[in-house]
A and B are shown apart, each in its own frame.
Chain A
């Protein structure tokens, strides 16, 4: 018996081709009213979600599961551990679900994922549920839009995240300064606080080559009155005077010393460390930063912090912008228990769970009735109170190629921040960015 290398290779090719042919197919998951009716028999489902901490450091996921099982005693929800970062989580889910795995039945996914996951058949279209207009009218329009793709809804809302400007209230009081309402005012205040020696940095924000920078760019461009793309993510609108103003200001923050040069390496963690360590006067960060900055065990500035909505540019209107962040529950299209999975994901989006979340944790509820009710959230969390007045900015995640679009944005802007402010650099960056975004939108960018 003789097996040549050529024979082995041919065998391999045949095997691979067979596997490719075998794993092909495009049957849509059966989502009918009967499929998604809650089961009556005992069922166990897996929920993949990162740890969500309550205000007193307990696990919010377990509180939610306990409350759900009181309502649905026949459905047991098991928690599945998740990889620590969003990107690695996405990799785990895409490889697992694309290979046809039936678990996790439900997974908590980023608000930027729906179009991409829908396009790649990684999330169940929520068919009949999506037609329930009354159900969806209970959520902010931007949230529903962010979880929809080509007329279908692909996730149940879980929690929102918005960006705020945190400031050192003690230092502003000490020098008799106002909380800045515009970026120009913030620049002056920050430079003054640096001059007095109270802080090392003026404003810290996320400028590293990654998704957080895309969020910051979206916000600054919106502050200047522009947008990166249209809402359906078809037209690139970044080569505009508004975007030029925003990017020029971002580079000036670094060149004038308002923000450290290291801002080009900062993600959320580094900015929070700098602010909580007393090194910065202002911080742009998500809602969770309120709790972290005021935690006496981990913050040197606990009790000295204030929060407001992000400032805007002088003469560019009064709206105070924040990128929409947040996480929502997707249903695995291959789940063996669609009824139980939909029942759980839907219950988390409804009033009982949303109230529990708002009352016991720092996460902003998505259900408008709960979000707009200050009595539920409590007076100690200004971020909840402020969120009602925020003008929400949607990143162009309506495109299934959003990660590539975002990469075109953050790679070019990061390079601009790192290379330093050159008068011609902003224009070149915008042109390059527009080209990169257009290629990404068409699905031909690498």
Chain B
């Protein structure tokens, strides 16, 4: 797909492809108009580059690449724990077959997708609104930002415990409020629908500030002259928001949404502390299910299969999202 300017749609500031990843370093070493360096010198520079980056690459390999590949291998193995460590009995597809035959896995997948869509959508709407309000503030913006960051900076296990106290059916303040307001006797964490809602509220409370701060950063960077021109042309606040602010904020929102999809899809600590995955398995996310299968049942292969499939699904979802969102950004560029 090409735009009218002939630019390939994608990241607007994308660099043209180079021969290899070290092109910028090489370019830095060259003066304009100087003859190309000798091959031997280039190799020496590459070697120096590798020497400098080797420690970081080793760390990345050890803590990122190795566990991912290790988990992938485990997911295709029948594994048990022996006195000498993991014992791979044989390679097998059984772990994945068990997954696709398990109704609990389908439920966990459906729940995780639903939860991700609902919470991320709500957080984006509320985050944009909060950012718009904060942008208007002058002296108190710093204070407001600090206040808003409190939920975000709180450890989820702690905030989940606090929400559990507030939702408690015997002594929870929210239960008490609902009883006094509506005369009902709500079982907030006791029925599937209300437990899912309660969990979503706790998540939205915690992560909306994160979205708001990112959107605010994008908002203050928007060029003022466009608004001035629009005002001269007679555009009202609504028009300016829909036609100028929102389209220009799209790349910022895309980043925020991407981060949130990654976090929401792997949600673990909130359901683990707040509901334990219950009632029944109503709030059992893929991560909670993976934890139970892996660490409670010590079913290593199946646990690794849940982790691997979740990783692939979320990577696929993010790629799809980026593709769609980038296309829209490209269209706005054309307009």
Binding site for B on A (CB under 8 A): 1-2, 8-9, 11-13, 15-17, 19-21, 23-29, 87, 90-91, 94-95, 98-100, 116, 120-122, 208-210, 260-262, 264-265, 270, 273-274, 277, 279, 333-334, 401, 403-404, 407, 411-412, 414-415, 418, 443-446
Contact = CB atoms under 8 A, between A and B. Distances in A.
Interface centre among B50, B61, B280, B281 (most CB of A within 10 A): B280
26 contacts: A8-B61, A16-B73, A19-B66, A23-B84, A24-B82, A24-B87, A25-B82, A27-B83, A94-B81, A98-B85, A100-B85, A121-B82, A122-B81, A208-B278, A209-B281, A261-B190, A262-B169, A264-B190, A265-B169, A270-B168, A277-B171, A279-B170, A334-B83, A407-B292, A411-B280, A446-B99
A59 B240 CA distance: 67
Contacts of A24: 82, 84-88
Contacts of B192: 418
B189 A12 contact: no
Contact of A446 (B50, B168, B289): B289
B70 A209 contact: no
A8 B276 contact: no
B83 A28 contact: yes
A26 B86 CA distance: 9
A1 B83 contact: no
B279 A418 contact: yes
B327 interface: no
Interface in B66-85: 66, 68-70, 72-74, 77, 80-85
Interface in B308-323: none
A121 B279 contact: no
- Pick the most buried of A28, A270, A274, A446: most chain B CB atoms within 10 A of its CB: A446
Interface in B268-316: 276-281, 289, 291-293, 295-299, 302, 306
B48 to A, nearest CB: 11
Given A15-B61, A265-B169, A444-B98, 5 more contacts: A20-B74, A91-B295, A98-B85, A120-B298, A415-B280
Contact of A19 (B70, B72, B171, B278): B70
A94 B295 CA distance: 7
Contact of B87 (A8, A26, A28, A415): A26
Interface in B84-124: 84-88, 98-99, 102, 104-105
Contacts of A99: 85
A8 B68 CA distance: 12
Contacts of A274: 170
A90 B298 CA distance: 10
Q: Which 5 pairs from chain A and chain B are nearest by CB?
A: A25-B84, A209-B278, A23-B85, A262-B169, A415-B280
Given A16-B73, A20-B70, A446-B105, A404 B297 contact: yes
Contact of B66 (A12, A91, A411): A12
B298 A94 contact: yes
B170 A277 contact: yes
Interface of B: 20, 43, 46-47, 50, 61, 65-66, 68-70, 72-74, 77, 80-88, 98-99, 102, 104-105, 168-171, 185, 187, 189-192, 276-281, 289, 291-293, 295-299, 302, 306
Contacts of A208: 276, 278-279
A28 B87 CA distance: 13
A429 B192 CA distance: 17
Contacts of B297: 401, 403-404, 407, 445
Contacts of B281: 209, 411
B159 to A, nearest CB: 17
Contacts of B276: 208-210
Contact of B187 (A122, A265, A334): A265
Contacts of A403: 292, 296-298
Contacts of B61: 8, 11-12, 15
B20 A16 contact: no
Contacts of A443: 299
A16 B66 contact: yes
B280 A12 contact: no
A352 to B, nearest CB: 32
A357 to B, nearest CB: 29
Contacts of B291: 91
Contacts of B84: 23-27, 100
Contact of B171 (A13, A29, A120, A273): A273
Contacts of A90: 295-296
A262 B47 CA distance: 66
B217 to A, nearest CB: 32
Contacts of A401: 297
A50 B280 CA distance: 29
B170 A414 contact: no
Contacts of B170: 260, 262, 270, 273-274, 277, 279
Given A20-B86, A26-B84, A1 B298 contact: no
Nearest to B278: A209
A265 B189 contact: yes
B161 to A, nearest CB: 11
A120 B81 contact: yes
Contacts of B306: 446
Nearest to B74: A20
Nearest to B295: A91
B98 A446 contact: yes
Contacts of B66: 12, 15-16, 19
A116 B292 CA distance: 14
Contacts of A95: 295
B86 A260 contact: no
A404 B102 CA distance: 13
